[in-house]
């Protein structure tokens, strides 16, 4: 499962074949009852078939209408099959992904630790929660678990699609491993956390197969609306029969059935399930596993987004941004000593100091310095550096108070402007590192936690659609305010603890808002569970993944921004196609009703604005369009309506213009074209 959401082909030959078979299987009334709109169409098909063989069942039915009834029945059958085909295509794409995942689920042999300290070989399917297994290099991890001993590089490409191995070790928030992944190097002992058949991989397979998909609240509400509209139109059609009798107009029962099918919202009724399934499919193809369709839909309703600063908004590594010399010291001297103190420092901060100096044209050759001794950073000294044995020179960089105390212990002088520079860096949200050589302080290195590029624009896009962003950080209020302003978030919580995140989520929810957040640690689990949309990182702990309702296989915290847009796209697609479907009914009304009564009531011909040839051709043309439009809209239902960040009012106006107006114009043109083709054929058949 790589990031292939835009590269996978929409339809393959195998998918079409399996979807056609699935469409036929779904004709079972027991299954069709789950979709009331299409169930009405199926009932209409069955009645039309009966009328083909028993034309005198109703006294106004003649044997000469057998062909007409048969054509109506055939078109109704095609309509139901097209609707089932749309749902089967959506399900088929998920099942195809499931098959690729199943290839990674092998019944491997696990080495389980016995009570006597020896290992026994058993089938991975026999492992239970709490069992401890040993996994060596080149072996598959048999099931989900937590590393309790060892460190190893793990190939997670079978799950995430990423080829680069990740380093996992015992302790901390990155000890979680997934069954089906491979240990590339070294060895690890894993404590199994999943029961057989309930591993993360098993859940993924079930989810992408849509086996556990439930209708979402919005989908249920829309289904209720469609059922209500269907009942209303059924009542209208029933009343048409006595009205026709009163006007001495003969209306074939199959025509009334066709009218019912054309006027009820069959287009959206046939595509509704496909849209929901496709929404989960799009999220999955973005390498995010949604635990339910409700989670995807909730993304579309998100009002507030809670984001961690480190790793989400910023890179999390403090990188050198500037060198600030104290009074009387040349910038070149400060830079040179800063580089010397960092040459053997393999931390991101140390490397960034050397890189920044190199960009400014300052290079230092370590070999020319002679014998050196690197002094590592410790929590006690809070500084690091280098001792040059030849000249017995000691160069240090570290926290301001630590370097000040160090220089004073050597009898050195503290520059008057040092504290001012330190405060200025802190006010900007940075970390000041003071550089000293022996008893002389040369200046300050400005370390900055860099905001990820593009986030300002993305937060602006979220703001356009009414989503508020809140940054959580353990930094002091001054630093938090600086980073928040630079990133462009709407608010921040400084010195944030796990309980503060939960409190922030509850506060927003109390105001009736839908809240989303990301997390990867055990301490994030309560907040992930509390949020309406919780996106856990696959590299995080099992507790975090179990608490969340979505898991990002790539472990990219910023992906929640895209997931929200996918949720928005799902809701927009459903709304757009509903608008298009209802608008279609207006055109089909003008196609069928005037044609039915024109013979008995010539004045009705004024409403026959499309000038359709005959009542029969009008009915069949509308019915054919009603069937054909469903497969034509399958690509749109699967891929989703193009999403553009904008306010709800602008979005409503845009969709009404495109899908509302288009839904009225398109049928007028299409039905007229179909009528031109159908009318001569009906004349040949004697109609």
DSSP H or E run through 679? helix 661-684
Name every residue whose Cβ is closer than 8 Å to that of residue 95 and which is 6 or more positions away in sequence. Answer: 18, 208, 209, 210
- Is 352 marked as a binding-site residue? no
- Is 292 marked as a binding-site residue? no
Distance in angstroms (rounded) separating the CA atoms of residues 39 and 47: 12
Q: Residue 516 phi/psi, 5° resolution?
A: -120, 150
Query: What is the CB neighbour count within 10 angstroms for residue 157?
Result: 16
SS3 190: strand
- Is 559 marked as a binding-site residue? no
Spell out where 285-421 has E strands: 288-290, 304-308, 314-325, 372-375, 383-388, 393-398
- Is 384 marked as a binding-site residue? yes
Residue of 453, 455, 448 whose CA lies nearest to 431: 448
- Is 383 marked as a binding-site residue? yes
Do the Cβ atoms of 591 and 612 come closer than 8 Å? yes
- Is 378 marked as a binding-site residue? yes
Residue of 529, 569, 526, 568 whose CA lies nearest to 550: 529
Do the Cβ atoms of 502 and 482 come closer than 8 Å? no
- Is 397 marked as a binding-site residue? yes
Distance in angstroms (rounded) separating the CA atoms of residues 428 and 418: 16
Do the Cβ atoms of 397 and 385 come closer than 8 Å? yes
Secondary structure tally for the chain: helices H, strands E: 23, 20
Give strand pairing partners of 166.
154
User: For residue 55, with 0-12 CB atoms within 10 Å meaning exposed, 13-18 middle and 19 or more buried, which class applies?
Assistant: middle
Give strand pairing partners of 286.
none
Q: Residue 574 phi/psi, 5° resolution?
A: -65, -45
Asked if 308 is an active-site residue, the reply is: yes
Question: Is the C-alpha dihedral spanning 666, 668, 671, 675 positive or negative?
Answer: negative
- Is 294 marked as a binding-site residue? no
- Is 173 marked as a binding-site residue? no
Q: CA angle, corner 302, sides to 296 and 303, nearest 5?
A: 180
From 131, 281, 308, 475, active-site residue:
308
Do the Cβ atoms of 114 and 120 come closer than 8 Å? yes
- Is 530 marked as a binding-site residue? no
- Is 475 marked as a binding-site residue? no
Q: Residue 84 phi/psi, 5° resolution?
A: -65, -35
Taking the alpha carbons at both ends of the chain, their separation in whole angstroms is: 56
Residues acting as catalytic residues: 308
- Residue numbers in the known binding site for Mg(2+) are 520, 524
- Residue numbers in the known binding site are 345, 349, 377-384, 397, 520, 524
- Residue numbers in the known binding site for ATP are 345, 349, 377-384, 397
């Amino acid at each position: 499962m790589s990031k292939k959401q835009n590269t996978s082909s929409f339809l393959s030959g195998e998918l079409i074949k399996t979807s056609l078979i699935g469409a036929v299987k779904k004709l079972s009334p027991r299954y069709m009852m789950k979709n009331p709109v299409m169930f009405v169409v199926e009932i209409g098909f069955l009645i039309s078939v009966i009328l083909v063989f028993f034309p005198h069942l109703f006294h106004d039915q003649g044997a000469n209408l057998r062909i007409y009834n048969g054509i109506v029945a055939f078109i109704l059958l095609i309509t139901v099959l097209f609707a089932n085909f749309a749902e089967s295509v959506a399900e088929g794409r998920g099942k195809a992904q499931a098959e690729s995942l199943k290839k990674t689920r092998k019944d491997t042999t696990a080495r389980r630790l016995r009570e006597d300290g020896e290992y026994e070989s058993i089938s991975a399917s026999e492992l239970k929660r709490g069992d401890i297994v040993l996994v060596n290099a080149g072996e598959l991890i048999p099931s989900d678990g937590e590393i309790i001993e060892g460190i190893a590089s793990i190939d997670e490409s079978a799950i995430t699609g990423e080829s680069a191995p990740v380093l996992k070790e015992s302790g901390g928030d990155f000890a979680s491993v997934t069954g089906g992944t491979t240990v590339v190097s070294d060895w690890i002992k894993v404590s199994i956390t999943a029961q057989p058949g309930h591993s993360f991989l098993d859940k993924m397979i079930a989810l992408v197969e849509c086996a556990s998909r439930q209708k979402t609240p919005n989908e249920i509400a829309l289904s209720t609306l469609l059922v209500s509209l269907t009942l209303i139109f059924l009542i209208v059609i029933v009343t048409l029969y006595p009205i026709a009798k009163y006007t001495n107009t003969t209306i074939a029962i199959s025509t009334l059935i066709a009218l019912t099918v054309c006027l009820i919202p069959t287009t959206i009724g046939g595509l509704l399930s496909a849209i929901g399934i496709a929404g989960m499919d799009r999220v999955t193809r973005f390498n995010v596993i949604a635990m339910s369709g409700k989670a995807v839909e909730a993304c579309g309703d998100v009002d507030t987004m809670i984001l961690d600063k480190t790793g989400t908004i910023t890179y999390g590594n403090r990188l050198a941004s500037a060198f600030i010399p104290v009074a009387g010291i040349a910038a070149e001297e400060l830079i040179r000593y800063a580089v010397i103190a960092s040459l053997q420092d393999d931390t991101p901060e140390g490397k960034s100091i050397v890189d920044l100096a190199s960009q400014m044209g300052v290079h230092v050759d370590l070999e020319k310095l002679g014998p050196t001794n690197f002094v590592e950073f410790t929590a006690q000294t809070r500084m690091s550096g280098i001792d040059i044995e030849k000249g017995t020179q000691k160069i240090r960089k570290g926290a301001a108070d630590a370097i000040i105390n160090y220089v004073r212990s050597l009898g050195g002088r503290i520059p008057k402007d040092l504290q001012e520079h330190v405060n200025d860096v802190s006010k900007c949200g940075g970390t000041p590192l003071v550089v000293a050589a022996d008893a002389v302080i040369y200046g300050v290195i400005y370390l900055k936690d860099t905001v990820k590029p593009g986030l300002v624009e993305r937060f602006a896009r979220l703001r356009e659609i009414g989503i508020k962003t809140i940054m959580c950080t353990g930094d002091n209020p001054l630093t938090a305010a600086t980073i928040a302003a630079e990133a462009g978030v709407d608010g921040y919580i400084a010195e944030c603890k796990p309980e503060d995140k939960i409190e922030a989520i509850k506060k927003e929810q109390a105001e009736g808002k839908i809240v989303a957040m990301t997390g990867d640690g055990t301490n994030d689990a309560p907040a992930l569970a509390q949020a309406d949309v919780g996106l856990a990182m696959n590299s995080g702990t099992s507790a975090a993944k179990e608490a969340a309702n979505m898991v990002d296989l790539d472990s990219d915290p910023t992906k929640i921004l895209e997931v929200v847009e996918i949720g928005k796209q799902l809701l927009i697609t459903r709304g757009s196609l509903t608008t298009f479907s209802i608008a279609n009914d207006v055109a089909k009304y003008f196609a069928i009703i005037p044609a039915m009564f024109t013979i008995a009531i010539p004045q009705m011909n004024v409403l026959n604005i499309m000038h359709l040839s005959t009542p029969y051709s009008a009915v069949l043309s509308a019915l054919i369009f009603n069937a054909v439009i469903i497969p034509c809209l399958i690509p749109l239902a699967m891929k989703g309506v193009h999403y553009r960040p904008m306010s709800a009012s602008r979005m409503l106006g845009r969709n009404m213009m495109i899908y509302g107006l288009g839904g009225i114009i398109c049928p007028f043109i299409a039905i007229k074209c179909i009528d031109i083709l159908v009318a001569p054929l009906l004349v040949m058949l004697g109609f």
